[in-house]
Structure 1
């Protein structure tokens, strides 16, 4: 039976929107001032994708069916596919109890699958973008730093084994550890915030297909992905020219496959929450951008031992209770939520660390750090994580 409020034409759009949110760092306006010969101009990703014929994009591999993930190889780069994302976010605490939420996205866009030989050292077959955002608890606003560089003359690139991806002086690499419990090293910074972290996976990689969120073959969406939903982090944060020792918990998404174009009439909200007692909750909610119809949620609870419990639409209550209107774009976003799974006796409120966390003017995406408070089975529970939501279309009454 067809889900109420959603016609059959919406399912193909879920393909693009799910990939868009997972690869949110890719679908954005790349804005970075001139940095010398390695700098790119400032085209949008959509503009680059529209150059498919000139760039030879049709030669890239496509994800057409599920395949078992292979580690340590799949921690590294997949240059045969056009797009790839390493996305990390988490919460850090310093020695004085200061709390910080960060997100770092490193994305690769392949320009040509079979480029002709070129003599120039500046000839590039890919571009890399990195964006670091930081929110300090009880302080408004978002700090950020960016990199955008061609894969030329060693300025940016990615290796398969051992895994390493870098953009100028930023890099993420696997240092050692078991293939299913890797240790990684992260360095990212600049004129804004700067991070140096050692990361240790507390759980084995979890294929996105095993979460049961999309209700179908993951290959249908042109995407292969896995999560490392809980990595212990120890390192240094530099903020306002002051160095602080920090520790905390980090979540890593790694995805590769076919890139989407932004747009369409369907929105998606994604909730990635690290809870007490080594549990993580990942939810997706498909909705119409104009607010009509009935939103369709799906959730997966990852237990301490890595086992997954999946929940579908009728087992979930998910409603926004606060919206935020961007003063820059006029876009409206649902930013605070109540989430309930009655079968678990779970009730959560998800509240943003700060309201103004619009990720990009061009895509109209809100990607924000949130804190979670609530109850599970009658006991208090807390956590932290991120919500990513595409903009709503305001009705005649406005907000």
Structure 2
């Protein structure tokens, strides 16, 4: 689940772009693999999203986020390299848990002269030195910033799950086109190098991959969301997203799914899930108050867990690329099943 504010960017840049013939989704649409792993033309926005939990052989822990966006501005066929069809954006962050330090960097490019782009016939997405390549079974990623970087190899241990109905994921009840094509790979063995201030750390662990494609979220009906990707030591993965309406309440498109140890998807009844806040973080920069600690109960699956951030300040302020801010961070999981999680909080 990723940032409805991308639609706002498109409107900010060129309100006329939405009058053009971008594809609108309907409940009849579904994810098509492998094609939907690659860049899809004629959609207003799409993204590839990775988070992960890594550690060194001696137990030093890190979290990372690496996201790529392709945002449609217009569909003209320019001859000039300076013609603006898409904006390519990347958000990159590393959490150094031992040092209680959060590093972040944002990038944006129109893609002129090969600075950024995405391929329609293979997985090849890049924004300057941030790169995602590979396929559904193996991915290779690189993120570069002045103080920190990653170079990682990922291998899927479970097949992709199609979220919603065969990958059609509605976000606003009663609006068929307010949806995305959405699939996840919830368990990817990960190995590579994290570099912090010139020092290299050999790391291994687990990553989570999300892919979404959309043209219209009708964002005036969405205040924000709380999104959880939870990796449990029982070799199960739990995804929950609570979409908040303008009154701050969960709308009927809020969603939860459990992937079992064999990779089988089990969609859950969101109304039978209890989400209670246990801890807050108030940003000294934006003034936003984020609910960063959670108590989650799912009686039908005997799940009773608590989520606590490893580092409280994991706020990504993106004044340069997406003109927004959000909290997205690595967390620990305790309770009936232990594990790790990434939590994304928008609209606060």
Q: Structure 1 length as normaliser, TM-score?
A: 0.77
1:183: Cα distance to partner?
Answer: 0.9
Residue in structure 2 matched with residue 187 of structure 1 by the alignment: 142
RMSD across aligned C-alpha pairs, in angstroms? 2.8
1:240: Cα distance to partner?
Answer: 1.2
| 2:340 is the alignment partner of 1:384 | yes
Residue in structure 1 matched with residue 56 of structure 2 by the alignment: 94
Is the radius of gyration larger for structure 1 or structure 2? 1
Residue in structure 2 matched with residue 343 of structure 1 by the alignment: 300
Instruction: Spell out, residue by residue over 1:77-102, the C-alpha distance to the aligned partner (whole angstroms, 9 max, x if none).
Output: 10221211000001011122111011
Give the strand-richer structure, 1 or 2: 2
Contact 1:49 1:261 in 2 (8 A): no
Residue 34 (structure 2) aligned to one of 72, 86, 92: 72
In the TM superposition, 1:103-142 aligns within 5 A as 103-113=65-75, 115-118=76-79, 120-142=80-102
Contact 1:81 1:110 in 2 (8 A): yes
1:172: Cα distance to partner?
Answer: 0.7
1:68: Cα distance to partner?
Answer: 4.1
In the TM superposition, 1:2-81 aligns within 5 A as 22-24=1-3, 27=5, 46=8, 48-55=10-17, 58-81=20-43
Gaps of at least 5 residues in structure 2 are none
Residue in structure 1 matched with residue 226 of structure 2 by the alignment: 269
1:298: Cα distance to partner?
Answer: 4.2
Residues paired across the two proteins, number: 341
Contact 1:333 1:366 in 2 (8 A): yes
Alignment CA distance shift 1:213-1:372 (3 Å): farther
Instruction: Spell out, residue by residue over 1:212-254, the C-alpha distance to the aligned partner (whole angstroms, 9 max, x if none).
Output: 9869799542311110111111111111101111111100111
1:389: Cα distance to partner?
Answer: 1.9
Alignment CA distance shift 1:260-1:299 (3 Å): closer
Contact 1:66 1:217 in 2 (8 A): no
Alignment CA distance shift 1:53-1:103 (3 Å): closer
Contact 1:75 1:163 in 2 (8 A): yes
| 2:330 is the alignment partner of 1:373 | no
Residue 280 (structure 2) aligned to one of 323, 326, 334: 323
Secondary structure of the structure 2 residue equivalent to 1:160? coil
1:56: Cα distance to partner?
Answer: 6.4
Distance 2:36 2:309 in 1: 33
Gaps of at least 5 residues in structure 1 are 1-21, 29-44, 176-180, 376-380, 393-399
Distance 1:389 1:164 in 2: 28
Distance 1:314 1:219 in 2: 21
Secondary structure of the structure 1 residue equivalent to 2:93? strand
Contact 1:100 1:134 in 2 (8 A): yes
Distance 2:10 2:250 in 1: 35
Instruction: Spell out, residue by residue over 1:155-201, the C-alpha distance to the aligned partner (whole angstroms, 9 max, x if none).
Output: 111112222111122211116xxxxx521111111213211111111
Distance 1:167 1:141 in 2: 25
Alignment CA distance shift 1:261-1:188 (3 Å): farther
Distance 1:218 1:229 in 2: 28
Alignment CA distance shift 1:298-1:158 (3 Å): closer
